[in-house]
Amino acid sequence: MSPAAKDENPAQPEAATPDAEVEETAATEAAEPEAAAAEAADTKAAETKAAKSKAAKTKAADTEAADTKATDGEAAGTEVADEDAAKSDAAAGPDEAKPDEAAKPDEAAKPARRRAAASAPGEEKPARSTSRTSTRTTKAPAKKAKAAAASTEVKVDLPANIFDAKVNLPLIHQVVVAQQAAARQGTHATKTRGEVRGGGRKPYRQKGTGRARQGSVRAPQFAGGGTVFGPVPRSYVQKTPKKMKAAALRGALSDRARHGLVQVVGGFIDGDTPKTADALAVLAAVTGAAAGSSRVLVVVDSSDQVTWRSLRNATGVHLIDPGQLNTYDVLISDRVVFTSAAFESFVARAGAQEER
């Protein structure tokens, strides 16, 4: 073929191969899911935004409706209050006085919406209705508090030989130990091997068993046997001279008196009827402490049965006769309170013992 023939017949484009077509189809199919997912995400975002906008509008509408309802309710309440006030005024008549302006509630105590309504110009403040207060049950008047009992403390001169004596601590210790020992019953006891029931025969023969020889199953080494050197009943009383007891008591009372813890009262009860409340009130006025908050030793003559019956069950109060006053009771008590009669009796008794 000649060159001219080649120019007259230009070259034809080469046909696409089957492999290229397959690759193009696969790329198109792979791109379709991605486009669909992106479109779905855009649609979902648009729906979420529209839902939020709708919720905000709904909330605003609900708030506006609630405010409107509250305003309408207040207006209705005000109208009802006005009607009730008018009815009350008509029923009471013109002579009855109107409520005082000072009875109005404090402005700061009102809610914000009511304060705004009260401060709005051109509107009059609605009058409070008194119809509700008239139906309330009247409270019973509170009981008047009982007046505090006056102190009946008597100023007396404490004898120096009794209430200003020397304090001997070893002597006081010896006397208190002897007093506590004398209070022990001393009835403790145990049984020896001869007192325990049983064990009268030899448990086994003397020889041939390979065991230690035994003569009774009630020997101390056996369970259920007797006790060796156990306690036996005895008396713990210690003989203490009377002068030592008196000196120890004077020392204990002197220590309390130096700290202002010894008082004398004229009496606890007026009359012949026992009264615990009155006696405790007098005691609290004298000591300056609440009843039951401290230990008080009250020295009362045994013939004063009204005071004994009034204070014998009181908490923190220990009653004692002047003749039974002792060192231990003085030391374990925070205060010592004498009646006038008991004080005179004790001083006379202590003076007589000292002269001996």
331: domain CATH number?
Answer: 3.40.1370.10
Cβ distance 217 to 198 under 8 Å?
A: yes
Question: From CA 9, how far away is CA 90, in angstroms rounded?
Answer: 123
Degrees, nearest 5: CA angle 214-216-219: 90
> For residues 178 and 236, what is the distance between their CA atoms, to the nearest angstrom?
8
In a domain, 287, yes or no: yes
For residue 285, is pLDDT > 80? yes
Same domain, 219 and 317: no
Examine the domain organization and report whether 169 and 259 are in the same domain: yes
Which distant-in-sequence residues (6+ apart) come within 8 Å of 58 by Cβ?
Answer: none
Which has more pLDDT, 103 or 274?
274
With b for 16 or more beta-carbon neighbours within 10 A and e for fewer, the 99-122 pattern comes to eeeeeeeeeeeeeeeeeebeeeee
Considering 155-159, 279-283, 292-296, 350-354, the range whose residues carry the highest mean pLDDT is 279-283
What is the domain extent for residue 273?
Answer: 160-185+238-355
The mean pLDDT value of the chain amounts to 78
Q: Do the Cβ atoms of 84 and 131 come closer than 8 Å?
A: yes
Domain count, the chain: 3
**Any idea which of 7-11, 25-29, 264-268 has the lowest mean pLDDT?**
7-11
Q: What is the pLDDT of residue 85?
A: 63
Q: Is the pLDDT of residue 140 over 90?
A: no
Task: Pick 225 or 33 by higher pLDDT.
Answer: 225
Which pLDDT band holds residue 185 (cuts at 50, 70, 90)?
very high
- pLDDT band per the 50, 70, 90 thresholds, residue 92: low
Question: What average pLDDT does range 219-246 have in this prediction?
Answer: 94
Angle formed by the axes of helices 242-258 and 340-355, nearest 10°: 140
- Specify the higher pLDDT residue, 141 or 267: 267
Shared domain check, 287 and 166: yes
What is the mean predicted confidence (pLDDT) over 266-293? 87
Q: Does 211 fall in a domain?
A: yes
Q: Is 35 part of a structural domain of the chain?
A: no
In this structure, what token pair is assigned to residue 221?
């080494």
Mean per-residue pLDDT, 52-59 = 80
**Are 225 and 196 in the same domain?**
yes
Is residue 124 one of the residues assigned to a domain?
Answer: no
Distance of CA 108 to the CA centre of its chain: 36
Q: 325 and 260 in one domain?
A: yes
How far apart are the C-alpha atoms of 30 and 19, rounded to whole Å?
17
Asked whether residue 260 carries a pLDDT value surpassing 80, the answer given is yes
Percent of the chain whose predicted confidence (pLDDT) is above 70: 66
Q: Do 299 and 181 fall into the same domain?
A: yes
272 lies in the same domain as 209: no
Q: What value does the mean pLDDT take over residues 178-190?
A: 95
> Domain check: are 298 and 246 in the same one?
yes
Same domain (yes/no): 309, 268: yes
Pair 246, 226 in one domain: no
Inform me whether the pLDDT recorded for 79 exceeds 70: no
Residue 132 lies inside a defined structural domain of this protein: no
What band does 197 get if pLDDT is binned at 50, 70 and 90? Answer: very high
**Helix, strand or coil, per DSSP, at residue 319:** strand
Residue 259 clears pLDDT 80, i.e. is over it:
yes
Domain-located, residue 341: yes
pLDDT greater than 90 at residue 176: yes
**Residue 342 neighbours by CB distance under 10 Å:** 25
| 254 plus 332 within the same structural domain | yes
Residue 155 placed within a domain:
no
Task: Give CA torsion, residues 271, 272, 275, 281, to 10 deg.
Answer: 30
Q: What is the CA radius of gyration of the chain?
A: 53
Residue ending a domain, among 51, 68, 91, is 91
The residue that leads in pLDDT, 356 or 185, is 185
Q: Which residues pair with 319 in a beta bridge?
A: 298
Is 31 within the bounds of a domain?
no
Whether pLDDT at 137 is above 50: yes
Given this model, what pLDDT does residue 42 score? 81
The values of phi and psi at residue 47, to 5°, are -65, -40
Instruction: Provide mean pLDDT across the span 170-187.
Output: 96
Domain end, chosen from 91, 111, 127, is at 91
| Strand extents, DSSP E, the chain | 262-265, 296-299, 317-320, 335-339
pTM for the model stands at 0.54
Same structural domain, 342 and 327: yes
CB atoms within 10 A of CB 349: 14
How far CA 88 is from CA of 77, 92, 129, 136, 196, in Å, comes to: 16, 6, 8, 15, 98
Average pLDDT score over residue span 11-38: 62
Which of 73-77, 101-105, 130-134 shows the highest mean pLDDT?
73-77
What's the whole-number mean pLDDT along residues 146-161?
72
Structure tokens at 258: 């130096």
pLDDT the model gives residue 229: 95
